[in-house]
Amino acid sequence: MRTDDGFDGIADAVREHGWQVVPAFLSPAAVSALAADCRARDAAGELAAAATGRAQGRALSELRGDRTRWFDETALSPAQRLYWDAMQALRQALNRRLLLGLETLEAHYALYPPGTGYARHRDRFRDSDARVLSSVLYLNRDWRPDDGGALRLHLPDGPHDVAPLGGTLALFLSADVEHEVLPATRERMSIAGWFRRREAA
């Protein structure tokens, strides 16, 4: 896990650019444990086809092809706890440095079968300003460039592709950065997360 100095560098990049990519955010052992946990839950039928929208407007969509399983903060597995604790430490550091008012974390496993992706979108809902900072932590070992599956961030100076290498953490402002998941030639696993603030009344 990153030290406070490392967290300060992440905060500075988010403040200046609105996004940051952090290699080796978690150890290889932690990433392997999370990948194994994700696969085991998928084999047990716990991951379900993902939907878009929220509340009454939530529905299955052709925009995305992943299967997901939300984390339950009250019942985290040992592998999930490694992720959760690291992200909470990051949340606290970002609040100290940037005063973002980040109060909670929500997260889910995302497993994309070969050939599937997620169309270009933003993560903040039209009727809610709670999501402030989006994150993606990758769980894939030995990923090669020709495997595809990049996260494409659509930035003011052009698109930027993030390879889904195990342990890499991508962060970006939920309301500002449009992004998409490009199809891959092999199964692709990650944890999608969002730091949230209290919704405006």
CATH number at residue 92: 2.60.120.620
Residue 130 forms part of a structural domain: yes
- For the chain, the C-alpha Rg in angstroms (whole number) is 16
Residue 123 structural domain: 4-51+62-196
Residue 88 forms part of a structural domain: yes
Asked if 165 and 23 touch (Cβ cutoff 8 Å), the reply is yes
The predicted-structure confidence for 43-60, as pLDDT tens digits, reads as follows 999 999 987 655 554 555
Distance CA 166, CA 199 (A): 33
pTM of the model: 0.92
Distance CA 67, CA 189 (A): 10
- Structure-block tokens of residue 9: 């560098």
Query: Does residue 135 sit in helix, strand or coil?
Result: strand
Nearest to 38 by CA among 81, 72, 69: 69
Q: Is the pLDDT of residue 1 over 80?
A: no
Residue 42 forms part of a structural domain: yes
pLDDT of residue 54: 52
Total count of domains within the chain: 1
How far is C-alpha 64 from the chain's CA centre? Answer: 15
Q: Is 44 left (phi over 0), alpha (psi -120 to 50) or beta?
A: alpha
Q: Is the pLDDT of residue 14 over 70?
A: yes
Residue 56 forms part of a structural domain: no
The predicted-structure confidence for 71-113, as pLDDT tens digits, reads as follows 999 999 999 999 999 999 999 999 999 999 999 999 999 999 9
Residue that has been written with the tokens 């299955």 in this structure: 60
Question: Percent of the chain beyond pLDDT 90?
Answer: 84
Asked if 111 and 43 touch (Cβ cutoff 8 Å), the reply is no
pLDDT of residue 153: 98
Residue 177 forms part of a structural domain: yes
